Amino acid sequence: MIRYILVDDDPEILKWAKADLDTIAKDYELKHVASYSSSKKAYENIQKDDFDLLIVDFEMPVYNGIELAKKIAAHKKIVFLTSTTNNEKKVINNLDISGFLSKPFDVQEFESILKNKVINKINTVSKNQTNLINLLIGSNRDIQFNPTLAYYISSSKFNNEAAPVKNCVHIYGKNDKILYKNVRLTINELYKKLESYNFNKVSQSTIINMAHLKERDNIHINLFNTEQTFEVTAKEKMGLVAKLRSKFKGF
């Protein structure tokens, strides 16, 4: 769970920011602790053990964003909100910043910050120690699932197996073995859960575990210990480039 506090001297900003974050709160286990329209009240009331993430306006009376963050969030994750775009150098050299968003911020941009700069960095327990995540199988069954064992996940039909039922996926492991059938989650839902575990989309119906990446060409990807070849769609190709280049030179 990520406990967050909002601080902005504009009450309307606080309202829409909270409303936007509510739309993704379930997906990322976000918990709103408090909102403050006064940096002075925030300083006086916030306790260091109350929160994990501070989302704070860059320019405010009494204490600006940097000043407030230094006072209450020296060892926390911080995302600054700003109406201007020329403050980045001042910010970057002062604190361990997780993100820098223009107002009104884009929820997808905030999600990217959560995935890359916040999730699993606010916890003291390493992901390697707690790999298991909970998944709903069917209507009455939950499992503890280890993402490292999955090679690919798809809502498409593979290997002469029956296709998953609507709004479900099959999870495949080593040697194309189905680990779990008809997991009642969409590819988009699973991608949000698993992107931080090194999974990436190759199409709207399939995500792959990049840890098992064996080879690629311009549009195809192969994994170790599987027979299945994956075609990367044009829509997903750009998102794969950076991750592929970390393993292979060029694309």
- Work out the pLDDT band at 129, boundaries 50, 70, 90: very low
The label of the residue with tokens 């839902």 reads 189
Per the prediction, the chain carries an average pLDDT of 82
pLDDT (0 to 100) of residue 124 = 39
Asked if residue 26 lies in contact with residue 2, where contact means CB atoms within 8 angstroms, the answer is: no
Q: 3-state SS of the chain: helix, strand, coil percent to 5?
A: 35, 30, 40
pLDDT at 98 over 80: no
pLDDT at 246 over 70: no
What CATH number does domain 2-118 carry, 3.30.160.20, 3.40.50.2300, 3.30.70.20, 3.50.50.60? 3.40.50.2300
DSSP assigned state of 98: -
- Work out the pLDDT band at 225, boundaries 50, 70, 90: very high
How far apart, in whole angstroms, are the C-alpha atoms of residue 98 and residue 89? 14
How many CA atoms lie less than 13 Å away from 11 in the CB half-sphere?
Answer: 0
CATH number given to 136-245: 2.40.50.1020
Beta 30-36 vs 2-7: how paired, if at all?
Answer: parallel
Which amino acid type is present at position 191? Y
pLDDT (0 to 100) of residue 130 = 47
| CA distance between the termini of the chain | 37
Which amino acid type is present at position 120? N
pLDDT at 85 over 60: no
How far apart, in whole angstroms, are the C-alpha atoms of residue 183 and residue 137? 5
Locate the DSSP E strands across the chain.
2-7, 30-36, 53-57, 77-82, 99-102, 133-137, 141-145, 152-154, 169-172, 178-183, 199-203, 206-209, 213-216, 220-223, 229-231
Q: What is the pLDDT of residues 154-208, one digit of tens each?
A: 999 887 788 999 889 999 999 999 999 888 888 988 888 888 788 889 999 999 9
Asked if residue 110 lies in contact with residue 99, where contact means CB atoms within 8 angstroms, the answer is: yes
Beta 152-154 vs 169-172: how paired, if at all?
Answer: antiparallel
DSSP assigned state of 117: I
How far apart, in whole angstroms, are the C-alpha atoms of residue 177 and residue 191? 20
Show me where the domains of the chain are located: 2-118, 136-245
pLDDT at 216 over 90: no
Q: Model-level pTM greater than 0.85? A: no
